Amino acid sequence: MRKSVIAAALALFSMPASALELDGDLSQGGMVIGTVEPGSEVSLDGDMLPVTEEGKFVIGFGRDHGPTALLAVMKDGTDEQEVWPLEIARRDYDIQRIDGLPPGKVGGFSAATLKRIRADNAQVAAARRDTGRDEHFLSGFIWPTKGRISGVYGSQRVLNGEPRRPHFGIDIAAPTGTPVLSPAAGTVRLAESDHFFTGGIVIIDHGFAVNSTLFHLHSVDVEVGQVVAQGEQIGTVGATGRATGPHLDWRMNWGKQRLDPQLVVGPMPQ
């Protein structure tokens, strides 16, 4: 991750300079670890953020985040607030347009299937909201498996002029049964084997609203509430759900912001 120290560079705003360190990518899909003086209060666009005793906090930006964000820091024991405007870099995404498809290829689902999809989505949303104050996200992330990258964050199809839901993860093609490891330590918040779209799915809470979702798993080898170490096997690669072939789809969230795992983890080791 990229590191930058922000201090007097914002002097044109006539604010006193105290060091604010940001480590990460200030871009759409990026996650950033911040450091302030211990005891400080921090907010992003008016929303208060949890801060560790050492002054660490985390922020993230979704696929279509706007060009700016406002970070505010209030020192412990004072009414002095410093406001830091952040510039969020815009990214270009792979957009595939396909026209002339028969209407049946773009159609919806039956009422029974939609009911099942809504139930799955509710489980996922509840699991992602269930976060603790563990600081596992501070220890960094590893690739959960190795293989060919077959799908990237932010990509989207437009079928017969109708935009489909963007892809919010990274797809890693690998043979069925390949071990899938926890990208960072955390607590398992969801472990299901048969969701409609995602098949076998595991959600791991890394603390402070940072979580990983791993799906299309052939086997799910953990249980809800289980604490896993970084690198511990949580399942195996599969083609369950609506997958067209064996691969792992790895997604990351900070709260409701969908992050790009590739910006967080760095290059895949050979």
**CATH numbers and ranges of domains, the chain:** 3-87 (2.60.40), 110-152+168-265 (2.70.70.10)
71 in Cβ contact with 58 (< 8 Å): no
Using only C-alpha atoms, the chain has a radius of gyration, in whole angstroms, of 20
Using alpha carbons, list the distances in angstroms from residue 196 to 120, 215, 267: 7, 11, 31
Average pLDDT of the segment spanning 213-239: 99
The predicted pLDDT at position 16 comes to: 44
* Beta bridge mates, 22: 4, 34
pLDDT in tens, 3-45: 444 443 343 333 345 579 999 999 999 999 999 999 999 999 9
Measured CA to CA, the distance from residue 45 to residue 235 in angstroms comes to 38
With 0-12 / 13-18 / 19 or more C-beta atoms within 10 angstroms meaning exposed / middle / buried, residue 6 is middle
Residue 91 above 70 pLDDT? Answer: yes
Average pLDDT of the segment spanning 203-217: 99
Mean residue pLDDT of the chain comes to 91
Residue 198 above 50 pLDDT? Answer: yes
Q: Which of 45, 41, 54 is nearest to 81 (CA)?
A: 41
- Look up the pTM and report it: 0.90
pLDDT in tens, 136-179: 999 999 999 999 999 999 999 888 888 888 999 999 999 999 99
Q: What percent of the chain has pLDDT over 90?
A: 79
